[in-house]
A and B are shown apart, each in its own frame.
Chain A
Amino acid sequence: MPVPPPPTRPVPPPPTPRAFPEAARDAVRDTTLRANLRHATHTIRDKRARAVAELEDWQRLREAGKRIKDHTLRHLDRYLEQLEAAATAAGATVHWAADADEANRIVTGLVKATGEREVVKVKSMATQEIGLNEALAAEGIHAYETDLAELIVQLGDDRPSHILVPAIHRNRAEIRAIFRERMGRWGRPAPDDLTDEPADLAEAARLHLREKFLRAKVAISGANFMVAETGTLVVLESEGNGRMCLTLPETLISVVGIEKTVPTWRDLEVFLQTLPRSSTAERMNPYTSMWTGTSDDDGPRTFHLVLLDNGRTDALADDIGRQALRCIRCSACLNVCPVYERAGGHAYGSVYPGPIGAILTPQLRGTTSEIDASLPYASSLCGACYDVCPVAIDIPEVLVHLRERVADQGGRGHRAEKAVMRAASWVMDHPAALAAGERAAARTRALHPGRPPGAGAWTESRDLPPLPAQPFRDWWKKNRT
């Protein structure tokens, strides 16, 4: 007997991008969103800690991953040329796209040349970043997202809010409502007796998408890694929608950021250990596909690789900021971030949310818009993101660096902040001064105001935490060492 359907709330309209402070203010008032997020981030971060603890050489793998990426970035021109040569020799056609428009033109042209009007897609942040689905739609080509979470996002006219679990902000009742209301418009409708059990919802997605997989002639993917030495592309996933896209169609088009390059086949042994454990907290994700060009009678007969710059070389040119290009998109930094947990991914106004988004997006897009200028401030600088990063990106360092850049642009409130940041960085660089300052502050705490000094918008919205009776470093020394 079918379970009676639970009450549903109507599918909410998609959020509009605004500067982080405004978007976050609304997000923190949405109690459903906060509950969904808190449950999800705490579950993943606890599991991740256990998966990482299984590897006694984790810190060495982390350092190896960091160095492989830094070395690759330092010689990226050479490795990109090697990648192009190896992939071409294996049967791929390699294209170069300087920006989003060019990438969209290339992909749209390739799809049109096949004569097809629909494509299946495996979750790809690069194609979201460039707005490929919209560009294809403008040419009358329908792109179907096939990752379950991406399907939920696409059917809901929504935007992804997490790197790994893009529909993390939706609970099962909302997903059921989206499937019931929207699936029929795109193909096979959801069954009438659909419950909000995850197994039932997954089954509805399976049936809905299967008819698309079995008839698709063209697929579009991203990639987690590209091996320069061999021309091999690698996609890690769980559901099999990736394998469907990478295996069944006749034509495969992969759009990949140039920073996804690693020099050698052997380098993958590092990232295949660190990425699954850091992202889904598994020893290994259920499915990994690796393909080198095209193979006789196995998989797509035509393979196009589109190498995407779109601001990456701007990030590469920044001595401090370029470390963001090491990112392997594991999303561990999102799950530990107290700001992400409360504000949600949409507040970041970009396909890359959370701490990594706060440093990557302003580098890829620049800091001229209000939202991009606000992103380096979307952090408490607590450092938890750096601790969990499997390629040791010092996110707080880049945040402070980008704040300086934004402050240099001028604007209300920024000049005073610049002076404060300068003073703070001098103190942080001089441990004795920091310790002395902390002790002096503790002894005089009764005299401190409850709000930062100064007038205006910046200080009005901020409280100073009460000062402790003793600096933490002193307490630790006395009680724990």
Chain B
Amino acid sequence: MSSRDRVLARVRAAVAGAPEAPAVLRDYLTSHTRDDPAALLDLLHDNLADYRALVHRADPAGVAPLVARLLAARGAKSVLVPAGLPDAWLADTDCVRVADRVEATAAELDAVDSVITGCALAIAETGTLVLDAGPAQGRRRITLVPDHHICVVRAPEQIVASVPRAMSRLDPRRPLTWLSGPSATSDIELDRVEGVHGPRALEVILLSG
């Protein structure tokens, strides 16, 4: 008998005769926030900041100067750019643009100072950005190896109130990365330290208008 058959036979023997479990109840809330785009934007802003992301707001005309300023403030000389990122966002920076290439080694990514991406959506109640490797997001590793990540969220269309609202909009067949603040550890006496392995600085641009 294969192990597969052995394990399945054990499972069947274990639950044989067990009473049917009560039906799953879904009477929990699908959102804890009122559906007001301005309130959701503020809540997202507060919750991102609470988890030590650096949050900025911009309108379409203000994105390029803001991006240029953020990169300059970090002393970034190079920035990783995924396919589909609007050229206009990088119009004002003179950083070297490094394309997200399949062949790029981890060591090459490690040599880049910053990365800029869009996102699939953002969850206001938890202060979470979700990337699904879609346009302007690139592969999972480009937002992991560089130490500085700038993520642009388009308000209001990319902001959802809650985790349940997010799940219904996401496609599980895509590789998904959820980010809630920068990399952090609390393993030493529960003192929270930003960094360790992911980017130590996460900057979010909330783009409206």
Q: Which A residues lie at the B interface, using CB under 8 A?
A: 36, 39-40, 43-44, 54-57, 60-61, 63-64, 67-68, 70-71, 73-77, 80-81, 84, 90, 96-98, 102, 146-149, 152, 165-167, 171-172, 175, 198-199, 201-203, 205-206, 209-210, 213-215, 227, 230, 232, 238-241, 243-244, 246-248, 258, 265-266, 268-270, 272-273, 276, 280, 282-292, 295, 297-299, 307, 309, 313-314, 316-317, 319, 322
CB–CB B198/A313 < 8 A: no
A149 to B25 CA separation, bound complex (whole angstroms): 37
CB distance from A344 to the nearest CB of B (A): 15
B57 within 8 A of A: no
CB–CB B198/A243 < 8 A: yes
Q: Known interface pairs A56-B32, A67-B24, A247-B144. Does A98 touch B197 (Cβ–Cβ under 8 Å)?
A: no
CB distance from B116 to the nearest CB of A (A): 18
Partner of A148, one of B7, B32, B180, B187: B187
User: Could you mark each residue 163-176 of chain B with 1 if its beta carbon is under 8 Å from any beta carbon of chain A, else 0?
Assistant: 11011100011111
Q: Known interface pairs A238-B186, A298-B175. Does A286 touch B181 (Cβ–Cβ under 8 Å)?
A: yes
CB–CB A287/B21 < 8 A: no
Q: Which residue of A lies closest to B144 (CB)?
A: A243
Q: Which residue of A lies closest to B181 (CB)?
A: A286
A276 to B196 CA separation, bound complex (whole angstroms): 19
CB–CB B193/A214 < 8 A: no
Q: Known interface pairs A76-B11, A243-B144. Does A287 touch B198 (Cβ–Cβ under 8 Å)?
A: yes
Which parts of B66-110 form the interface with A (CB within 8 Å)?
102, 106-107, 110
CB–CB B186/A240 < 8 A: no
CB–CB A284/B127 < 8 A: yes
Partner of A60, one of B25, B106, B177, B179: B25
B34 within 8 A of A: no
Q: Known interface pairs A57-B28, A165-B190, A238-B186. Does A286 touch B51 (Cβ–Cβ under 8 Å)?
A: yes
Partner of B10, one of A61, A102, A313: A313
Q: What B residues does A74 contact at CB under 8 A?
A: 15, 18, 20-21
Q: Which B residues lie at the A interface, using CB under 8 A?
A: 2-4, 6-8, 10-15, 18, 20-29, 32, 47, 51, 102, 106-107, 110, 123, 125-128, 133, 139-141, 144, 163-164, 166-168, 172-191, 193, 195-199
Q: What B residues does A307 contact at CB under 8 A?
A: 7
Q: What B residues does A276 contact at CB under 8 A?
A: 126
Q: Known interface pairs A214-B107, A240-B197, A290-B172. Does A147 touch B15 (Cβ–Cβ under 8 Å)?
A: no
CB–CB A230/B172 < 8 A: yes
CB–CB A239/B4 < 8 A: no
A283 to B8 CA separation, bound complex (whole angstroms): 37
Q: List 12 A-B contacts (CB under 8 A).
A: A40-B189, A68-B24, A74-B15, A148-B188, A175-B188, A213-B106, A239-B198, A246-B140, A280-B186, A287-B198, A291-B175, A297-B139
CB–CB B187/A149 < 8 A: yes
A210 to B200 CA separation, bound complex (whole angstroms): 14
CB–CB B163/A273 < 8 A: yes
Q: What A residues does B178 contact at CB under 8 A?
A: 284, 287-290
Chain A at the B interface: SS class: helix
Sort A-B residue pairs by CB-CB distance and give the 3 closest, nearest first.
A240-B198, A240-B197, A317-B14
Partner of B189, one of A172, A246, A285: A172
CB–CB B3/A96 < 8 A: yes
Q: What B residues does A77 contact at CB under 8 A?
A: 8, 11-12, 15
Q: Which residue of B lies closest to A202 (CB)?
A: B193
A327 to B189 CA separation, bound complex (whole angstroms): 25
Q: Which residue of A lies closest to B177 (CB)?
A: A289
- Given A70-B21, A291-B175, A299-B139, 16 more A-B residue pairs with CB atoms under 8 Å apart are A39-B190, A61-B28, A67-B21, A67-B22, A67-B23, A75-B15, A84-B4, A90-B173, A96-B4, A205-B196, A238-B183, A276-B126, A284-B126, A289-B175, A289-B177, A291-B176
CB distance from B200 to the nearest CB of A (A): 9
Residue among A202, A272, A316 with most chain B CB within 10 A = A202
CB–CB B7/A96 < 8 A: yes
A75 to B159 CA separation, bound complex (whole angstroms): 36
Q: What A residues does B182 contact at CB under 8 A?
A: 286
CB–CB B144/A240 < 8 A: yes
CB distance from A317 to the nearest CB of B (A): 4
A295 to B172 CA separation, bound complex (whole angstroms): 12
Q: What B residues does A98 contact at CB under 8 A?
A: 3, 6-7, 10
Q: Known interface pairs A57-B29, A206-B195, A319-B18. Does A244 touch B144 (Cβ–Cβ under 8 Å)?
A: yes
A283 to B27 CA separation, bound complex (whole angstroms): 20
CB distance from B44 to the nearest CB of A (A): 12
CB distance from B4 to the nearest CB of A (A): 4
Q: Known interface pairs A96-B3, A198-B193. Does A295 touch B188 (Cβ–Cβ under 8 Å)?
A: no
Q: Known interface pairs A205-B196, A266-B167, A268-B167. Does A165 touch B187 (Cβ–Cβ under 8 Å)?
A: yes
Q: Which residue of A lies closest to B23 (CB)?
A: A67
CB–CB A44/B190 < 8 A: yes
A200 to B10 CA separation, bound complex (whole angstroms): 50
CB–CB B172/A292 < 8 A: yes
Q: Known interface pairs A67-B22, A238-B186, A239-B196. Does A288 touch B177 (Cβ–Cβ under 8 Å)?
A: yes
CB distance from A155 to the nearest CB of B (A): 13
CB–CB B163/A272 < 8 A: yes
CB distance from B29 to the nearest CB of A (A): 5
Q: What A residues does B14 contact at CB under 8 A?
A: 313-314, 316-317, 322
Q: Known interface pairs A238-B183, A307-B7. Does A70 touch B173 (Cβ–Cβ under 8 Å)?
A: no
CB distance from B39 to the nearest CB of A (A): 16
A423 to B180 CA separation, bound complex (whole angstroms): 51
Residue among B8, B15, B141, B187 with most chain A CB within 10 A = B187
Q: Known interface pairs A248-B106, A286-B180. Does A241 touch B197 (Cβ–Cβ under 8 Å)?
A: yes
A298 to B47 CA separation, bound complex (whole angstroms): 29
CB distance from B163 to the nearest CB of A (A): 5
CB–CB A266/B139 < 8 A: no
Q: What B residues does A273 contact at CB under 8 A?
A: 163
Q: Which residue of A lies closest to B199 (CB)?
A: A240
Q: What A residues does B20 contact at CB under 8 A?
A: 74
Partner of B196, one of A67, A232, A240: A240
Q: Known interface pairs A198-B189, A286-B181. Does A232 touch B140 (Cβ–Cβ under 8 Å)?
A: no
